[in-house]
Every structure is written in structure tokens, then in C-alpha cells.
Amino acid sequence: MSLSMYQASIPGFIRMLENTSAILDKAVAYAAAKKIDPSVLVNARLAPDMFPLSRQIQIATDMAKGCAARLAGIDVPSYDDNETSFEELQARIAKTIAFLQSVSAEHIDGSEEKAITLKTPSRELNFLGQPYLLDFVLPNFHFHLTTTYAILRHNGVDIGKMDYVGHY
């Protein structure tokens, strides 16, 4: 049996967003225990020219919801990108998971050859469905979630690999 487009996308997006939500819970607990203003972590960066944690979450959720919608041929949900707290980031993750759960396998399966066009401020990107998912979305999604993890770990939050990948 071959792996379907749905199986290669939605369940993994949901699992990783749930894992990230649990990591954010640990960050909140860490900030409270160490008496650190949570906004310090929400705005933390690995390097001055990198986005802060809040933007990493925004991009990761945009990747997941955008992919699901484009492959399914439905409108991409629009979020304001104005989250400034862990509570607001958790709400964004929950909203993204709820959207992903609303997209069924029937919506996505068979989209391997679907034409996908992304318009950025500087250029237009054109993909077929499978390369869009495998070569563009998944690497970007995991990059931004990994960066979120690394920002928190770098700042002392007690998290490890199993927090990122989840328990089996």
C-alpha cells in the first residue's frame, strides 16, 4: 500500500503541533518557576537576524494550514499574526489543529499533480502537489518547529528530543 498525500501531511502536522503545544506549556512553567517574564521567551531569538519564537510558530502554523487548504482546493484560513503571549500562541496552534482536523483524506488524496502557486512579495512559486508537500512545506514546517524548540532549549527550558518528536 502506498502512502497517500493525506497520510503524508495532516496526521504529522497535527502530531507535531500537539508536541509543540506541550513544549510551550513547559516554557510557561519554566518562566513561572524562574520568575522570568514570559514575553522574554516569546520574543527570544537564536540570532539577531532570525525571527523570534512567536514568528516561528506563526510560520509553522501558516505552512500547515496553507498546505492543507491548497491541496484540498479550499480557501486558506487567514490569521492576523499578532500573537504576543504563550496563551495567544497556544490558541493559534489549537485553531490550526481544528482546521486540519476539518480537512479529510477525500479532500487531499489525489492532489499529487495538482498545480500549486504561491505568490510572495518578491516572486511567484509554482509546484505540483507532491513536491509542494515533500520539498517545500515539510522542510519549512519542521525548520520553524525545530527553531522554536532550539530557542526554548537555548534559554534553559528543560526539554529534550522526546518532547519534540513525542512519545510512541
Q: Is the residue at 90 inside a domain?
A: yes
Q: Is the residue at 102 inside a domain?
A: yes
Range of the domain at 91: 10-163
Q: Is the residue at 53 inside a domain?
A: yes
Q: Is the residue at 139 inside a domain?
A: yes
Q: Is the residue at 16 inside a domain?
A: yes
Residue 161 CA: distances (Å) to CA of 5, 52, 54, 167? 26, 21, 21, 10
Q: Is the residue at 5 inside a domain?
A: no
| Angstrom distance (rounded) from CA 130 to CA 6 | 11
Q: Tens-digit pLDDT profile for the chain (168 aa)?
A: 589 999 999 999 999 999 999 999 999 999 999 999 999 999 999 999 999 999 999 999 999 999 999 999 999 999 999 999 999 999 999 999 999 999 999 999 999 999 999 998 999 999 999 999 999 999 999 999 999 999 999 999 999 999 999 987
CATH of the domain at 14: 1.20.120.450
In the chain, how many domains are there? 1
Residues in the chain: 168
